[in-house]
A = this chain, B = another copy of it.
Amino acid sequence: MDQVDINSVEQIARLFKILSDPNRLRIISVLGKNECSVSELINGTGLPQTLVSFHLKTLRDSGMVDTERKGPFIYYRLKSPVLIDLLGAFNQYTFNGQKNKDMATGMPCPCSPWFFKKS
């Protein structure tokens, strides 16, 4: 039981660590709109293939995504769409909270195109 207690902080920290990379957030954000293939992720994020694959491995290992092969394509999808809502909540926090007052006006939700497009 102490085991469980100790683990829980570590667990949450591990979750946040996964979310703490901008490129991974871009990938997650695209996945939040639709399940999609790796190719679509590459196009959607503007990141090189190996990098997308690299981050997808992290997401797979964390159990955050499911995969399904369809012909030559492998489709990824978020196991829990709730995650997107949580990201939205944090987005609000970042721009409307006591942090970064200078960017406090009208930011769109994390699913908007600007959120994940690379440049």
Point out residues on A near B: beta carbons under 8 Å.
2, 4-17, 19-22, 24-26, 29, 62-64, 79-80, 82-83, 86-87, 89-91, 93-95, 97-100, 103, 107, 110, 114-117, 119
Determine the distance from Cα of A91 to Cα of B93 in the docked complex, in whole angstroms.
17
Contact status B22-A19, CB under 8 Å: no
CB distance from A80 to the nearest CB of B (A): 4
Contact status A115-B13, CB under 8 Å: no
CB distance from A76 to the nearest CB of B (A): 14
A98 touching B9 in the complex, CB below 8 Å, given contacts A4-B103, A86-B89: no
A107 touching B12 in the complex, CB below 8 Å, given contacts A97-B79, A99-B63: no
